[in-house]
Amino acid sequence: MQLDQLDRLIVDALLEDGRATFAQIGHRVGLSAPAVERHPEIVSALTVTGEADAILHILAADVRHFEQVVERIARERFMVRTKSELVMSPLLRREAQGIAAS
């Protein structure tokens, strides 16, 4: 994968402040906030290490609705590819309590 100038600017912004929000990074590099402002089904978006650039959590009514959302996201100009995984049922969900970041 080759980085273009915009990619380098985004990486530089993240190196300076790894906790910056999408909106902050977008402002710094001259872009609007990411497309998740246009997809109300996206309930969270996370940057990650590894092969993927981000993980999006989508809340959909059914599998067809999920497919439609993924198709809309895939048409975004910045998308290169998508990989989907469906959550069958949650095993554990807890809120962070008393955990301080160091």
Quickly state the pLDDT bin for 61 (edges 50, 70, 90).
very high
| Domain residue ranges of the chain, discontinuous segments joined by + | 1-33, 34-81
Q: Convert the pLDDT of each residue in 12-46 to its tens digit.
A: 888 898 888 777 877 787 765 554 477 888 888 88
Tell me the backbone φ, ψ of residue 16, rounded to 5 degrees.
-70, -40
pLDDT of residue 42: 84
Question: Considering the chain, what is the average pLDDT of its residues?
Answer: 81
